[in-house]
Structure 1
């Protein structure tokens, strides 16, 4: 998307006409002229092509002539190769570089008055970009102020020729509708399934009960939709959750009615399954984030599990969120919507508040019977506790550990991975930093040499630059050191760890300590964990983020949901102040109430999701030029700009970080509900104009930024 890509696109006749049209010019419609040595197709000789160029000022279709020899193969939806951009060589015009694209339409005439270049090659006769998928991609691009080519790149997987040569089986007979199963625990659960079975499009925000039954309940909803002969789609945050729903759905339908789309399958196997869905041989899909674009035919239900998980937002432009994509898709295709999870996001609460969706939750008596007992330990409690002052765990936590280990496995959730990820000088408390790049120093294990978290340099002879001290203290304790300490405290009990480097799927129903980072908690066999310890609540609640409380509660609920009910002695101990709203919501097991109160607070302050926001980032001049040239809605409010922290040279760059050494700014543009489309359109148009002028750097635009802190 940089200057090199822009230079490739310069000089073409269609691009010149595009810029002329932007200045108010217009071109007459005409049949394409023939080119030397070739004959165009007799019927619909013009192919309108989406070229694989994610440049916002080129976000349109380009016309190419269809050679008669390609007439049968060059159908809408197929992949093609075309020459894009023109150059000069030996005094004559060249056709530019070969790039990939998709035919979106065959036409009898063209807006371009000159000689149309022919299609260079039809890469495949597989019609992968179907009209429904194209409409969805266009809607997503418009919502996020992105380009259609970028969204299509997310929606259509790379081609695997061998997979295309393998035929797909014919469509399978729809399975019989299952019974309500676990949905009988929810007052309106059976009614939701009956509405899906009748072919209606109910929309629900489902607050799942704690315990292992959610996967079977989600599979039941999908199987009910498949029983109608229509399609079903479920998007989950990770491969482990998708595998659980896949197994549950296979048990209900007997297999063959759906496919599992995750990265673990490998590129060829995943593309083969995607083709089975596109060809109509399979009508059900269970998968991770990329499955939100799966070309399911005649969609009956679109489901998202745990929509607050950050994994649901794609990190590639224009960074769409699976929840929003499936809501758009369900509206386009008349499908039911099911947003489920143990926690409830403010976005889901807003859908209920506006009447777009209904709440689907169990009554309080059922919740109390299913949710484990939650106890809190705040700072005052730890200050009075001799064990908490001398060790990391208060007495209440030690008692819960001992009691739980007598009955089965115990889960210990630690917010940070590693051994000691944050260190400070023992004397003056200054953070320990690398002498090379000033990055934070961390210890990977006891007795190991300190290493920099940015550049990886080793610091065997560290000393504090402020006071000269050589002793260190751990500011934050990681999962690895927690496991080491608990192993010493309970030498006869096995200790297992689960985190980014090694994630456990399950643990047996036997006494063991399972130390896990949030999101990596394995499922305990049998009735679940006997107890859970949620450590260092301050690390989750103290983040300078609008969603800190919501995210902390989501992580706690997901871990606590793996614990046995109170009738089986299940207990959860959380180390956090009991007066805080997320902690109280965990104690009462009231995620929907927390989401409603969070939504009310954001409405009073004008924060998302009540308002729609866009973040404009870049160098100071670029941000000012983009905002100054944008025809923003009258209701738009510009907040800032404010300077962004500079990226240290040794630190790995994340998405949206400024290049090392550059000073960037960020401005937030806020509009009231109903004006989000106008805001996205205005910013996209202004950015396209800036790119077409090629006058300096162009600011970036991100719609619905996850972090506005």
Structure 2
């Protein structure tokens, strides 16, 4: 019995008690704090009022972190406001602890978080985690408090002269105006420099800027241009690769107003930049801009929301153009910045399309033939005489899909019916599901024991090229082994989309392999995404005036490949948007994908959705869940998000399972 009492005493001693007694005096002014608690339950997605003890009067300021007692637990939160009285008629609890007086959630960012949560049918708590990084106390105490020096307006805007209205756009920013534009950039290293010029004009006008790019490689490229134009120490970089201390230090520099420019990946869209004058996003169609965590906001939409709220300039740039960017042009919200036809022809490599060689593509596992068409072989050979050559391959691996050599039936595992694949040249085919060896495989249709490659990855392509050009080094860049740069010597570079390394002076030639395979993905945005990947690779090749040539291997009659040959992303975006408008697909409409158990989704068919609406499904996506799609006209998008929030709140209050809700998903198969 005594042991039990001792254990109980230990447990009681371990319980963390509030540091402020109930009888303590309250703050002399504005004694009520409105707190956003860190709770993701949809039915509790609202601020809660707490009394501010006198001891916390100077530290529990709006935008600071606090700890409160909520539902019997100590929960962190942010002070949104301090008021004199509460609308709550019951007894108010008190703040348990003021973490620090550091303002980490500025009012404009808090408004943005609330707007984004409402737009994507999410909660404030889920979005604020994307906006405010975890606290690093040591960094908070030691971080610099000296502001960066002034920046002069750029005198030379010649980089923007290649675009109709480009110089006028930057001049308008320098004058304090808020122009908004969609920019079709020319290839080369100048794109980062051009962005830096626009940012310099913004900073010289006394305002701040946010630049969002897809990945860390782009951050380094644009950041180097920013340091060259603005000077050292006048911008910060925010990426997921930064450690907790470095990330929080950069965040504090912006929150304290010491630095007014940030270059980063999608999380930078929420950065607390003071006096925001410009938001810019590069390659907005890249799926890396879409947040993979609920409620899945897209950096482009976050930045456009900030531009509207702050009344600032906006720039959407890239080699390709998304349908969403085209809609902004056609709605009149954005102007169009594009190169003249002579500049486009001179700056881009000359592109041609050739059909695949079916005889070479049909090589079986014992064959030694490369699947390169004769035209591609000739281009690579001549390109290697002038420098490095880039070969883009759409898939990772060796042979990631196999079929019967005789009847073309997909090769399936005899045990689990999973797809067969080959991981290397000296490996036996194995099942991608159960891993069983396929040495004894035979076709269930014709009995053949020979296989052919249906999908060939980068490793197999590199092997084929090594045999075809035995005197030339072959390097790969893909997956977890991505090269940032390669030498300007004669070398063959095999890379998957997005992993293409840069090279000094550009590649002498480029080959885009298996274009039909890239277009075969079951995705709403497959044509747009394919063209984006091809243009990004083509942009790494020298311009036509320098002899640069690109060969795409695919069906010459496809419209998207013809857009590549014409180097016309704007024309393709116009057609893509028109097709989506005719088919009632985003961005012409607002679409929400709701995933959960089949029976629960079927019950939503009779839910009160905003009129007019259309339901698609529910359709099973695996053994445990299904998908229901709800789409409404764009002007009803806010009402749809509100209906989804109410649905989630009702389920949360009844302690029902959570439904996955994705408004305007980046990918929809």
With normalisation by structure 1, the TM-score equals 0.87
Question: Residues 158 and 464 (structure 1 numbering): CA distance in 2 closer, same or farther, change over 3 Å?
Answer: farther
Number of aligned positions between the proteins: 643
Moved more, 35-44 or 674-683: 35-44
Compute the displacement of 1:414 (Å): 0.1
Question: Residues 278 and 386 (structure 1 numbering): CA distance in 2 closer, same or farther, change over 3 Å?
Answer: closer
Aligned to 2:214: 237
Query: Residue 76 in 1 paired to residue 37 in 2?
Result: no
Aligned to 2:646: 685
Aligned to 1:615: 593
RMSD of Structure 2 on Structure 1 (CA): 2.0
Aligned to 2:306: 329
For each residue in 1:618-651, what CA deviation from the matched residue of structure 2 results, as whole angstroms up to 9, or x when unmatched? 1123223345343x2222222x2132231xxxxx
Query: Residue 624 in 1 paired to residue 602 in 2?
Result: yes
Secondary structure of 1:529's aligned partner: coil
Query: Residue 674 in 1 paired to residue 635 in 2?
Result: yes
For each residue in 1:286-333, what CA deviation from the matched residue of structure 2 results, as whole angstroms up to 9, or x when unmatched? 011111111111111100000010000000010000111100001101
Aligned to 2:39: 53
Secondary structure of 1:268's aligned partner: helix
Question: Residues 454 and 339 (structure 1 numbering): CA distance in 2 closer, same or farther, change over 3 Å?
Answer: farther
* Candidates 577, 588, 609, aligned match of 1:599: 577
Aligned to 1:558: 536
Question: Residues 476 and 681 (structure 1 numbering): CA distance in 2 closer, same or farther, change over 3 Å?
Answer: same
Q: Which runs of 5 or more structure 2 residues have no equivalent in the other structure?
A: 1-19, 364-368
**Aligned equivalents of 1:533 and 1:424: distance in 2?**
25
For each residue in 1:35-82, what CA deviation from the matched residue of structure 2 results, as whole angstroms up to 9, or x when unmatched? 744333232222111111112111101122222222221111111111
* Candidates 313, 336, 341, aligned match of 2:290: 313
Query: 1:652-667 maps to which residues of 2 (within 5 A)?
Result: 661-662=623-624, 664-667=625-628
Aligned to 1:134: 110
Query: Residue 220 in 1 paired to residue 180 in 2?
Result: no
**Aligned equivalents of 1:197 and 1:387: distance in 2?**
55
Aligned to 1:537: 515
Question: Residues 283 and 641 (structure 1 numbering): CA distance in 2 closer, same or farther, change over 3 Å?
Answer: same
Question: Residues 432 and 610 (structure 1 numbering): CA distance in 2 closer, same or farther, change over 3 Å?
Answer: same
**Aligned equivalents of 1:99 and 1:472: distance in 2?**
59
Question: Residues 430 and 97 (structure 1 numbering): CA distance in 2 closer, same or farther, change over 3 Å?
Answer: farther
Query: 1:195-594 maps to which residues of 2 (within 5 A)?
Result: 195-379=172-356, 382=357, 391-427=370-406, 429-433=408-412, 438-454=417-433, 457=435, 459=437, 461=439, 463-464=441-442, 466=444, 470-526=449-505, 528-594=506-572
For each residue in 1:6-47, what CA deviation from the matched residue of structure 2 results, as whole angstroms up to 9, or x when unmatched? xxxxxxxxxxxxxxxxxxxxxxxxxxxx97443332322221
- Answer yes or no: is the 8 Å Cα contact 2:184–2:338 preserved in 1: yes
Aligned to 2:663: 703
- Answer yes or no: is the 8 Å Cα contact 2:196–2:225 preserved in 1: yes
- Answer yes or no: is the 8 Å Cα contact 1:623–1:699 preserved in 2: no
Compute the displacement of 1:464 (Å): 4.2
Secondary structure of 2:635's aligned partner: coil
**Aligned equivalents of 1:386 and 1:128: distance in 2?**
60
Secondary structure of 1:421's aligned partner: strand
Secondary structure of 1:608's aligned partner: coil
For each residue in 1:566-595, what CA deviation from the matched residue of structure 2 results, as whole angstroms up to 9, or x when unmatched? 121111000111211110111011000000
Compute the displacement of 1:692 (Å): 1.4
For each residue in 1:493-515, what CA deviation from the matched residue of structure 2 results, as whole angstroms up to 9, or x when unmatched? 11111111111111111100000
Question: Residues 329 and 36 (structure 1 numbering): CA distance in 2 closer, same or farther, change over 3 Å?
Answer: closer
**Aligned equivalents of 1:101 and 1:580: distance in 2?**
54
* Candidates 145, 153, 157, aligned match of 1:177: 153
Q: Which runs of 5 or more structure 1 residues have no equivalent in the other structure?
A: 1-33, 86-95, 647-660
Question: Residues 318 and 199 (structure 1 numbering): CA distance in 2 closer, same or farther, change over 3 Å?
Answer: same
* Candidates 122, 139, 143, aligned match of 2:98: 122
- Answer yes or no: is the 8 Å Cα contact 2:370–2:468 preserved in 1: no
Aligned to 1:167: 143
Aligned to 1:91: none
**Aligned equivalents of 2:563 and 2:518: distance in 1?**
15
Aligned to 1:29: none
**Aligned equivalents of 2:22 and 2:389: distance in 1?**
77
With normalisation by structure 2, the TM-score equals 0.92
Question: Residues 699 and 462 (structure 1 numbering): CA distance in 2 closer, same or farther, change over 3 Å?
Answer: farther
Aligned to 2:3: none
